[in-house]
Amino acid sequence: MAREYLLKHLPSVTSSSIDYRAELNDQQYAAVTSGPGPALVLAGAGSGKTRTLTYRVAWLLDNGVEPQSILLLTFTNKAAREMLTRVQSLVPLETTAIWGGTFHSIGNRLLRKHALEIGFRPGYSIMDREDQEDLLSAVVAGEEVDTTQVRFPTGEVLGDIYSLALNTDRPISQVIAERYRRFLPLTNQIEWIQKRYEERKRAANAMDFDDLLVKIVELFKTKPDIAEFYQRYFQFILVDEYQDTNRLQSEFIDVLAAHHQSVMVVGDDAQSIYSWRGANYQNILDFPKRYPSAAIHKIETNYRSVPEVLQVANAAIRPNARQFSKILRPDRKETDLKPALVPVLDNNQQAVFVAQRILELRDEGVDLEEIAVLYRSHFQSLEVQLALTRAGIPYSITSGLRFFEQAHIKDVAAFMKFVTNPTDEVAFKRMVRLLPGIAARGAEKLWEQINLAPPESRKTFGSWLEVAKAPAKSQRAWEQLRHTLDEIAPEKQPVPPSGMIHSILEAVYDDYLKSKYSNHEQRREDLTALENFSRGFKEPVEFLSQLSLMATGETEQLSTQDEDRERVTLSTVHQAKGLEWQAVFIVWLTDGMFPSARSLESNDNVEEERRLFYVAITRAKDQLYFLYPAIWPNGNIDQRVQRPSRFLGEIPGELCEEWRVGF
């Protein structure tokens, strides 16, 4: 048995002049200066989490810890760079030897040293998402999967299925049963494609993004001597945003921390909102169970928000049963402005209120870039985008493209454009490329064929398209397209826009969405919102004109060039995490919208939605507005009565001020 001989950590000859006691509050100081061993730092919203991590690294260096023995794991390389840059500004020591980066970048750095041990050559390639989708599509084509009888998942969807299975440590069959039920009959084929995909990657000496963690964990499990080397090498491990880790990332951390056990994880269980992409909420809850000797530090002083906002935030998260108890305490002074509770008649009045109040805030001295409108799902921003455009208020969207610029909106519009203008070549080609087996060249051939058709065959779209010969594998879809076009424009007379959209979705596009996109449910919600919006138009030409103008972002800009640089932020709450604004509007606070309808199926999902609501609230520094419409048409002729979000009912009435909206 080998003798253990430990080297002492001696203070560096050169150390910083940091007065840690003066620079940090009591809770931050306790975490930063804690001794070796496991530690869980529960850092509430706006409490200085990054500051705590940065000073922890500086403190370790000041106390003689060698930079190369420190591992800092983050979720973005940018976060790691910013923290290490701040450390460098704090201590007069060389910090470039610190191992800092994302889980996957650190995994890659380790794998480059040990590629041969896992059956790869040292110069292996790393495939980006597009490369992965191309290879998966090639595997499907090579296996001669019959996609004429049923829509087989695209490379994008297959990649998501395999990734979710790997990162959550679940069988592919279970992932399909829980998240992709449409593909249950294809489970065996999907599993076979995955095996062939792995073979093709190895033959090409290539890894995808997930492999960078999967393979390093496999290496540590199969080569204990290599694992032991790194377990001893990394004496202090720090992990940022620990509440967002998945099963695979948690396992990677636990393996590396096995020897020294000096792992400090920093996060906020109240901001765990990414289970839909594989994050495992249990990781942070169970940390004290996996590390029974772990010290738990709570950092609860909030430097961002006024007390009135924090009182609402504390009340909002309190009903969650599964959480570490903590209370955000304000550093700022009280104001005389409580968060506003704003019931409105419908989604249109909601949007008008937001636009008008934003203009008032601007007149009151709040810059537009200090204002945000947050929502649960992207489709809920439709009317707000319209209202801001009409009011000449510039905006940017952190949750993706403008509503009308999205691919699925443009796809559906292509059907409508073609039946209202049969000479629209671009619309025709976009429409037919949605059919299985038809690519750019096939679309060109079909366009040429229908334009050679005699006039007598053009009385209806069905008879007109019948003259073209679609590929054999596309024949069934081509027939369906002909019937759909006749349905939305009988005798070539287009029906109203809402009827068009409904028919296009039911007959053709719904199936395409499910096979093409992993987030097909969110895109379907967008299209339902588009159908609602279209009810305000009788003529398709007028509707399509509005779509085109909105897609190009045409709007009256504010008066000066400098002011044009100011933009209100529109964002989903997920995309807003980590950001902050002076004034925040949270819209569509009704049951079924926020919390979402799908979340109401289980208590765990409702608790995650409540955490999402908490994240939205804690983005506000000074002013907060809760809005909820009383009615919504929801794609039907009859309007649906909306109930205020259950989350609003959990906030004591005296913490908010109700605003009654009138004309």
Over the stretch 257-274, which tens digit does the pLDDT of each residue have? Answer: 999 999 999 999 999 988
Q: Identify the active-site residue in 50, 187, 261, 546.
A: 50
- HSE toward the beta carbon, residue 106, CA cutoff 13 A: 25
Helix 247-256 and helix 103-114, axial crossing angle in degrees, nearest 10: 60
pLDDT digits (tens, 9 = 90+) for 106-126: 998 999 899 999 888 888 888
Of the listed ranges 140-144, 473-477, 547-551, the one predicted with least confidence: 547-551
Other C-beta atoms lying within 10 Å of the C-beta of residue 359: 15
Q: Identify the active-site residue in 201, 610, 619, 646.
A: 619
How far is residue 421 from each of residues 459, 481, 551, measured CA to CA in Å?
A: 14, 17, 19
Q: Identify the active-site residue in 49, 51, 215, 430.
A: 49
Q: In the annotation, is 240 catalytic? A: yes
Q: In the annotation, is 469 catalytic? A: no
Q: In the annotation, is 232 catalytic? A: no
**pLDDT band, very low/low/confident/very high, at 617 (cuts 50, 70, 90):** very high
Q: In the annotation, is 271 catalytic? A: yes
SS3 breakdown of the chain: % helix, strand, coil, rounded to 5? Answer: 55, 15, 35
Closest CA to 347 of 575, 581, 548, 593: 593
pLDDT digits (tens, 9 = 90+) for 486-527: 998 998 899 999 899 999 998 888 888 888 887 788 888 888
Query: Which residues are CB-contacts of 596 (< 8 A; sequence separation ≥ 6)?
Result: 376, 377, 609
Cα–Cα distance for residue pair 464/467, rounded to 1 Å = 6
Q: In the annotation, is 49 catalytic? A: yes
Cα–Cα distance for residue pair 201/135, rounded to 1 Å = 8
Kindly compute the dihedral angle of the four CA atoms of residues 185, 189, 191, 194, in this order, to the nearest 10 degrees. Answer: -140
Other C-beta atoms lying within 10 Å of the C-beta of residue 295: 16
Mean pLDDT, rounded, for 616-640: 83
- 3-class DSSP assignment, residue 279: coil
Q: Identify the active-site residue in 62, 240, 269, 531.
A: 240
Helix runs in 257-402, H state only: 282-285, 287-290, 307-317, 347-363, 382-390
The kind and range of the H/E element at 267 are strand 263-267
The kind and range of the H/E element at 228 are helix 224-233
pLDDT digits (tens, 9 = 90+) for 587-603: 999 999 999 988 888 89
Bridge partner residues of 297 (DSSP): 41
Cα–Cα distance for residue pair 156/133, rounded to 1 Å = 5
- 3-class DSSP assignment, residue 301: strand
Query: Which residues are CB-contacts of 120 (< 8 A; sequence separation ≥ 6)?
Result: 111, 202, 205, 207, 215
Q: In the annotation, is 50 catalytic? A: yes
Query: What is the reported pTM?
Result: 0.83
pLDDT of 13 > 80? The answer is no
Task: Determine the pLDDT at residue 557.
Answer: 38
Q: Identify the active-site residue in 132, 245, 271, 420.
A: 271
Cα–Cα distance for residue pair 653/661, rounded to 1 Å = 18
pLDDT digits (tens, 9 = 90+) for 283-338: 999 999 999 999 999 999 999 999 999 999 999 999 999 999 999 999 999 998 99
Task: Determine the pLDDT at residue 370.
Answer: 97
* Both structure tokens of 162: 């395999």
Task: Determine the pLDDT at residue 515.
Answer: 81
Query: Which residues are CB-contacts of 275 (< 8 A; sequence separation ≥ 6)?
Result: 281, 608
Average predicted confidence (pLDDT) for the chain: 88
Q: Identify the active-site residue in 160, 211, 241, 308.
A: 241
* Both structure tokens of 436: 């299985």
Task: Determine the pLDDT at residue 399.
Answer: 60
pLDDT digits (tens, 9 = 90+) for 401-428: 677 778 888 899 899 988 888 888 888 9
Closest CA to 120 of 11, 212, 31: 212
Other C-beta atoms lying within 10 Å of the C-beta of residue 637: 7
